[in-house]
Amino acid sequence: MSEAEQVPASAPDAAVLDALNGTDSNGTEALNATAKFVATPEGTALAYGSLVLMALLPIFFGALRSVSCSKSKNAADMPETITSRDAARFPIIASCTLFGLYLFFKVFSQEYINLLLSVYFFVLGVLALSHTMSPLMSRIFPASCPNKQYQLLFTQGSGESKEEIVNYEFDTKNLVCLVISSVVGVWYLLKKHWIANNLFGLAFALNGVELLHLNNVSTGCILLGGLFVYDVFWVFGTNVMVTVAKSFEAPIKLVFPQDLLEKGLEASNFAMLGLGDIVIPGIFIALLLRFDVSLKKNSRTYFYSSFLAYIFGLGLTIFVMHTFKHAQPALLYLVPACVGFPVIVALFKGELTEMFRYEEASPEEAGSKDESSESEKKDQ
């Protein structure tokens, strides 16, 4: 469950992330149930309120950034488009990954697996946090400081057969972001502090919402419907999620201590929210924002309705979990809310057919269309 994709900027990586995140939330409830610590009402309210706020930030800003990302011609900022075929396979990949981790932790040493995962997520986290900070750094970077341009180029072969393997352009601002992100990464590796974990988690979530794009609403319904079944099955049907959650250490969840008021920054009894319960609904909400933009009506009706639906669904998850003292699959509540609210709004506005007909071209198709339009202009 969740109490609660760079995220990796590819569909398979996002699938892996989603498979893992469900585990954390599941584990959260299991761990909290067995702990001797009893949270105060104030501590519980602060923890869950902070988790809700942290979940909303990457969805809101990631959706806004996804609009400009879809128009970008920079190869480094190109989104990864999820097709209906990808969406149908997503829950299967997530389930295989989750069960594979379960077997790994049963067979191999938990210490060595977590060490490898820590190094892997350190690299991903530094890159994700650096990318997240870039727009902010562009605004606050002193104009008096020289902003030099750099290029990292790797080629293979020579002469006419030379091929580019890596061609990455960056500047001084990007280097500053990378240094700051690396410091956070070292802090996380050495201390596993919850604030460092959350910085990486927020960066993963924001990058996932920004860079993972659904091509149409139907694909979004397939993806959310499949993960709805996935989340319910692995939470209520087996103990796999709980087992993996107890063993897995990685910044794939947001955490907030329920004993912060008593112990300060050294608090250790956490409420948790898996990143998949942020990213998966988030990419659907971002799609609806881009649909709003395509209507050119200067309104964000579908975006705001789905955003409010997410708040309602997450609040309902926390309420049920707190009332029944049992892990809940968050997508059980988030999927009907995030899909149902916009559909009802579209029915009232008479735009349901238009909403389901809206489709985004993949970066390759968009590029070919731009080239053809430019060639037509030259011919004219």
Confidence bin at 28 (pLDDT 50/70/90): very low
Q: What is the DSSP string of 199-221?
A: HHHHHHHHHHHHHEEESBHHHHH
Residue 359 to residues 64, 80, 255, 355, Cα–Cα distance (Å): 18, 15, 36, 9
What's this model's pTM, rounded to 2 decimal places?
A: 0.82
Place of tokens 């396979």: 89
Q: What pLDDT sits at residue 11? A: 33
Cβ-contact 280, 227 below 8 angstroms: yes
Average pLDDT over residues 155-183: 83
For residue range 282-310, list pLDDT tens digits in order: 999 999 999 999 988 888 999 999 999 99
**Catalytic machinery residues:** 231, 277
Please tell me which residue, 63 or 68, carries the higher pLDDT value. 63
Burial class (CB in 10 A: 0-12, 13-18, 19+), 336: middle
Q: Could you tell me the residue ranges of all domains in the chain?
A: 11-144+174-379
The predicted pLDDT at position 362 comes to 58
Q: What is the distance between the alpha carbons of residues 275 and 250, in angstroms, rounded to a whole number? A: 11
Residue 265 DSSP code: G
**pLDDT tier at 18, thresholds 50, 70, 90:** very low
Q: Is the per-residue pLDDT at 323 higher than 90? A: no
**Each residue of 83-141: pLDDT tens digit?**
999 999 999 999 999 999 889 888 887 888 888 888 899 999 999 999 899 888 888 88
- Decide: 313 and 338 in contact? Cβ < 8 Å: yes
The predicted structure's pLDDT at residue 76: 55
